[in-house]
Amino acid sequence: MAALRTSSRSLMRSVAAAAARSNAVAVASSSSRSVAARTLSTSAARSSDALFVHRNTDYNNPDIPFEFNEENKKMAQEIISHYPEQYKKAAVIPLLDLGQRQNSGWVSISVMNYVAKLLEMPPMRVYEVATFYTMFNREPVGKYFLQLCTTTPCMLGGCGSTKILEALEAKLGIKAGQTTKDKKFTLVEVECLGACANAPMIQINDDYFEDLTPESMVNIIEKLSNGEKVKPGPQSGRHSSEPASGRTALTSEPYGPGKFCVPEFA
């Protein structure tokens, strides 16, 4: 037992000596070179390109009046009528969308307050919805709101969304997140819009434009700039999302009712 205690003390002394030598080396190393001061963060990291809080500006403050026009008042009542009276606050999303459409594509604080009053709900509840869903723009956008998908399928599909973005930035003279000086176009990057089979694609206002190339993208912008209508959908000539090689399945008429069924089920 005595020998075991002696061995244990010897091991502890060896560990302590090794630690002391390590500390000495570290001190000597740090003194021989300058160490940059640690940078302290003074604010929380932003996880979005838009602040969740509202800042009053000359174009967005509660003193600017807003109410639905007569047509949208009727539409609002139609929307509200689809919900039970005690749950009419469930209409907050479609009413915010209606307000955004009337307000040139964005939801101001006055739009939110008007919807809250219309639905008899606390304004904070409306603010929570408007700041959560990316479909609501809380800053002014151009006449044509360009939402370019840059998620993996669009980045890899066709010529790739990177080339589409480069073509847009060169043609419009702006970067993603900016609006042209004439207020016609706002360009943003977005996540998947669900048209992966027709990548790369872009959403302009409510319409999808798919199978894009830099040339077809520039052509779309030029037509919109000239006030011309552009046919949405695939720009490659195909009708929807069928493969370029033609059908590979469902190439014949489907079996009619009763085929290969037992007589009683025919």
More confident residue, 233 or 14: 233
Predicted local distance difference test score (pLDDT) of residue 238? 84
Provide the b/e sequence for 166-175 (b: ≥16 CB within 10 Å): ebbeebbebe
Express each pLDDT in 158-171 by its tens digit.
999 999 999 999 99
The tens digit of pLDDT for each residue in 171-197 reads 999 999 999 999 999 999 999 999 999
- Statement to judge: residues 89 and 155 lie in one domain: no
Instruction: List the structure tokens of 201.
Output: 């694609």
Structure tokens at 147: 């939402």
pTM beyond 0.85 = no
Rounded Cα distance, 91 and 213, in Å = 39
| pLDDT reported for residue 74 | 97
Give residue 78's domain range: 70-132
The pLDDT of residue 46: 46
Q: Residue 156: inside a domain, yes or no? A: yes
Give the CATH number, domain containing residue 208. Answer: 3.40.30.10
**Between 96 and 36, the higher pLDDT residue:** 96
> Per-residue pLDDT averaged across 45-61, rounded?
74
Q: Are residues 164 and 224 in the same domain?
A: yes
What CATH number is associated with residue 83?
1.10.10
Domain count across the chain: 2
Average pLDDT, the chain: 84
Q: Looking at the structure, do residues 151 and 124 belong to the same domain, yes or no? A: no
For residues 97 and 155, state if they share a domain. no
Q: What would the pLDDT profile of 231-265 be if each residue is shown by its tens digit?
A: 999 999 888 887 767 777 777 766 656 566 666 65
What percent of the chain shows pLDDT beyond 70?
Answer: 75
